[in-house]
Amino acid sequence: MSDAVVVGSTLDTGSPEPEEAAGPRGVLEVNDVMVEFDTDAGRITAVDGVSLHLATGETLGLVGESGCGKSTLARAIMQLVPMQRGSVRLEGTDLGTLPRRELRRMRHRIQMVFQDPRGSLDPRMSVSTIIGEPLRVHGIGDRTSRARAVAEAMELVGLPTAVSDRLPSELSGGQQQRVGIARAIVTDPAVLVCDEPVSALDVSIQAQIINVLDELRDELDLAMLFIAHDLSVVRHLSDRVAVMYLGQIVETGTASEVFTEPRHPYTQGLITSVPRADAESATRLQTARRLVLGELPSLLDPPSGCRYRTRCPYADDECAATEPPPEAVDHTDGLHSLRCHHWRDIAVRSGAQPSSNSQEQAP
Amino acid sequence: MSVLPLLEVDDLHVTFNTASGPVHAVDGVSFTMAPGASLGVVGESGSGKSVTARALLRLFAITDDVRVSGSVHFDGADLLRVDERRLRHVRGGQIGMIFQDPLTSLNPLMAVGEQIAESLRLHRGMGRAEAASEAVELLARVGIADPEKRATELPSSFSGGMRQRVMISLAIACRPRLLIADEPTTALDVTVQAEILLLLDELRRSEGMALMLITHDFGVVAATCEDVQVMYAGKLVEKASMTHLFDRANHPYTEGLLRLVPRFEDAHTGRLHPIPGQPPITGGGGSSCAFAPRCAHAFDRCHREIPPEVAVGPEHLSACWLAADRAKEGTEAGRPWRRTP
Ligand SMILES: Nc1ncnc2c1ncn2[C@@H]1O[C@H](COP(=O)(O)OP(=O)(O)OP(=O)(O)O)[C@@H](O)[C@H]1O
Ligand SMILES: Nc1ncnc2c1ncn2[C@@H]1O[C@H](COP(=O)(O)OP(=O)(O)O)[C@@H](O)[C@H]1O
Ligand code: SF4
Ligand code: SF4
Ligand SMILES: [Mg+2]
Ligand SMILES: [Mg+2]
């Protein structure tokens, strides 16, 4: 794990601000990204002014309800959807301004792992061809060095050499996802973007794949953006987390802070909703229901002011009138920030503390 | 318990004949449920949970080449032996079912209110108008806002969570005495999952209906069920109350499942502990402990004989030779090994 000074994921106010000069630059810097889509029913803003930073060896977990914009953000970072605004810098280079050919050259430094292992692999290619493909596309190395890189990647993800010549359909779901990961790391990327990499897998396979990612990160010093809806998995893998709601990041901080001292009512609701195998499970869900009211509003008609106000038990007139700006939680390491007018008045709901050593503290 | 059981499953076997040989999906399953009971069924994918649920109602596809034996007594009658007419009456009537993907079980071309009303007319003999207004009531009952309007809409205009609510309202429309929910929240967001689980729990309490909930998530069971049974390769390997299982899981497979997933309350505590290998694709039907190839505690006997179900605590059963040997020695019939911290 990197013990370098971590560049925090600062929330953006929506107006692009100059980067802070101090501190080492992140390997990935996403600044004020906005992505809009035209749908039959009108224009929607899927990602609305998101900024985040990743340092080498660091994992940022991205959580939020289905449809909140996680995958769209990931695709914007990968330059797979056009951005209306904002920038994505990879190792200091602004990907958005690069000419096509230059962009292709940079691509091998940032790679992606997808949810559906089977659907993301070409069914007619052998395992070793699939894994070596990015090297050929990017024109990296010669035949021998490519074969060596493929063998190394396979070993790193725990694929036996015996499966090299098999087709994806001849592999188990877990092996297919290992192929997807091997293909992503074969180009020796600096950043790995994982979009729900274990959601489609059975529980026992999930654990294996999580371990593979965990080991890779340590071994290769990868910066990882990890998207998952399973908060336990996110907590397990992430150094920091960002909580997304209707296209915006509403709270971010170190995983331990956000998960044990969530400040934003939505984060509190999310965390309380996780069913845990303990005796308080049912009562906790009752609490969760009071923190997340009703249904997710449509992106076609997002609420004015604070986007969470239609579901927030603390909402008042100010919440409807003005959008809460990002604020840092003072007493902490400076990484923890959120968007809520009333967070100082809302008690910390220690979402993830073992009841035995309760460190609940008043805000 | 002195109450007559509502459901009594005895030595249920389900075998599919497939091109690559027989699959013993359910291999001698026995359990009972009292009226109003809540039972969670947990296990890896392919362990036989869904087939068990389908077998209770003989819900198989016409193309299935399937052999079922044993008995399923529900309300006095053996559902495996009653005629089709009686069975249709039980399905969707006295026993309701909810599946993981509500879209595949709702008719995409029919307004949801109509679907519910149709079931009410069929099972509760209601007239057209009465059924229509009861359908709206039911939608309101499961927390759907503006039920009059939503009743006229097609399933496709509902979000995932709302669709699952519609499924639930359909399943409870005929006031079933047993509701079988197969992974009802697996495809849903945690906030929506929380609401659906609360809804199921409230319905169980208010309607006095028994709930059988199939899931791979012990957290989901903890939130909704008093009892739990763990399934592996077509067999129930452990049965206990949920509170008992938390700190006294006995069977090595149950322990494995509990250690497999990161617990939310733990920060990163090193690597996870996957159970090595995979469940047998042919299900049960062997003459040894089916878990032996993956079990860190297996010894000779496990590979030679099927472990019997033995009591390891009050209303706590485990099918493992370690537990059986301890029970015979008269030593503490507790857990065979401790969970590493
Ligand atoms: N129609 C069928 N024909 C042949 N085999 C089947 C059929 N349905 C299920 N099986 C087999 O029966 C076994 C148990 O399947 P079942 O669907 O009950 O597992 P499960 O525990 O519900 O898994 P999941 O969590 O994936 O739903 C598996 O080996 C499966 O492949
Ligand atoms: N290509 C597209 N065209 C129109 N709308 C889209 C497109 N891709 C995503 N969206 C919409 O953007 C929003 C965010 O989607 P997505 O990022 O996929 O959510 P998540 O990954 O968090 O589930 C959703 O409302 C989705 O329907
Ligand atoms: S700003 Fe208001 S509505 Fe938004 S989260 Fe805070 S209290 Fe709730
Ligand atoms: S019977 Fe043997 S192989 Fe089976 S679970 Fe017990 S110890 Fe393991
Ligand atoms: Mg997505
Ligand atoms: Mg199933």
Q: What is the CATH number of the domain that holds A250?
A: 3.40.50.300
Residue B340 has pLDDT above 70, yes or no: no
Q: Does A292 touch chain B (CB under 8 A)?
A: yes
**Shortest CB distance from A289 goes to which of B198, B257, B262?**
B198
Please state, as a whole number, how many other Cβ atoms lie within 10 Å of the Cβ of residue B296. Answer: 10
Say if CB A158 and CB A178 are below 8 A apart: yes
Let me know if residue B337 belongs to a domain: no
Say if CB A7 and CB A55 are below 8 A apart: yes
Structurally, chain B folds into a number of domains equal to: 2
Average pLDDT of the residues in B263-288: 85
Let me know if residue B341 belongs to a domain: no
B9 CB burial (10 A radius; 0-12, 13-18, 19+): buried
Residue of B23, B97, B215 to test ligand 1 pocket, by largest number of atoms within 8 Å of CB: B23
What pLDDT is recorded for position A176?
94
Let me know if residue A334 belongs to a domain: yes
Shared domain check, B305 and B221: no
| B336 confidence band (pLDDT: 50, 70, 90) | very low
Average pLDDT of the residues in B139-149: 89
Q: Does B159 touch chain A (CB under 8 A)?
A: yes
Let me know if residue A18 belongs to a domain: yes
Atom of ligand 2 nearest to the CA of A73: 17
Let me know if residue A345 belongs to a domain: yes
Query: What CATH number should be reported for the domain holding residue B26?
Result: 3.40.50.300
Let me know if residue A95 belongs to a domain: yes
**A302 Cβ closer than 6 Å to some ligand 2 atom:** no
Question: How far apart, in whole angstroms, are the C-alpha atoms of residue B263 and residue A281?
Answer: 13
Say if CB A220 and CB A45 are below 8 A apart: no
Q: Does B183 touch chain A (CB under 8 A)?
A: no
**Shortest CB distance from B44 goes to which of A203, A272, A285?**
A203
What pLDDT is recorded for position B339?
38
Shared domain check, B187 and B110: yes
Let me know if residue A249 belongs to a domain: yes
Shared domain check, B243 and B221: no
The residues pairing with B32 across neighbouring beta strands, listed in sequence order, are B8
Q: How far is B73 from chain A (nearest CA, A)?
A: 31
Q: Does B161 touch chain A (CB under 8 A)?
A: yes
Shared domain check, B25 and B105: yes
Averaged pLDDT of chain B: 89
Q: How many CB pairs under 8 A join A and B?
A: 132
Structurally, chain A folds into a number of domains equal to: 1
Contact A285 B243 (CB under 8 A): no
Shared domain check, B71 and B25: yes
Shared domain check, B219 and B160: yes
Residue B332 has pLDDT above 70, yes or no: no
Let me know if residue A216 belongs to a domain: no
Which domain, by its residues, includes B307?
Answer: 237-329
pLDDT digits (tens, 9 = 90+) for B63-115: 889 999 999 999 889 999 999 999 988 988 899 999 877 666 789 999 999 99
Atom of ligand 3 nearest to the CA of A309: 3
- Tell me which ligand sits closest to the C-alpha of residue B299: 4
Three-class SS of chain A: CCCCCCCCCCCCCCCCCCCCCCCCCCCEEEEEEEEEEEECCEEEEEEEEEEEEECCCCEEEEECCCCCCHHHHHHHHCCCCCCCEEEEEECCEEHHHCCHHHHHHHHCCEEEECCCCCCCCCCCCCHHHHHHHHHHHCCCCCHHHHHHHHHHHHHHHCCCHHHCCCCHHHCCHHHHHHHHHHHHHCCCCCEEEEECCCCCCCHHHHHHHHHHHHHHHHHHCCEEEEECCCHHHHHHHCCEEEEEECCEEEEEEEHHHHHHCCCCHHHHHHHHHCCCCCCCHHHHHHHHHHHCCCCCCCCCCCCCCCCCCCCCCCCCHHHHHCCCCCEECCCCCCCCEECCCCHHHCCCCCCCCCHHHCCCCCC
Please state, as a whole number, how many other Cβ atoms lie within 10 Å of the Cβ of residue B15. Answer: 22
**DSSP 8-state class, residue B114:** H
Let me know if residue B339 belongs to a domain: no
Please state, as a whole number, how many other Cβ atoms lie within 10 Å of the Cβ of residue B328. Answer: 10
> Contacts of residue A207 in chain B, CB cutoff 8 Å?
260-261, 272-275
Let me know if residue B2 belongs to a domain: no
Which domain, by its residues, includes A82?
Answer: 8-99+227-351
pLDDT < 50 regions, chain A: 1-24, 350-363
Contact B262 A172 (CB under 8 A): no
Let me know if residue B335 belongs to a domain: no
Contact B264 A276 (CB under 8 A): yes
Q: ipTM of this model?
A: 0.85
Shared domain check, B105 and B65: yes
pTM of the complete model beyond 0.80: yes
Shared domain check, B43 and B81: yes
**Shortest CB distance from B217 goes to which of A210, A275, A352?**
A275
Let me know if residue B321 belongs to a domain: yes
Let me know if residue A280 belongs to a domain: yes
Let me know if residue B316 belongs to a domain: yes
Let me know if residue B278 belongs to a domain: yes
Please state, as a whole number, how many other Cβ atoms lie within 10 Å of the Cβ of residue A342. Answer: 15
Let me know if residue A221 belongs to a domain: no
pLDDT digits (tens, 9 = 90+) for B168-216: 999 988 889 999 999 988 878 898 899 889 999 998 999 899 999 999 9
Contact A288 B272 (CB under 8 A): no
What pLDDT is recorded for position A11?
41
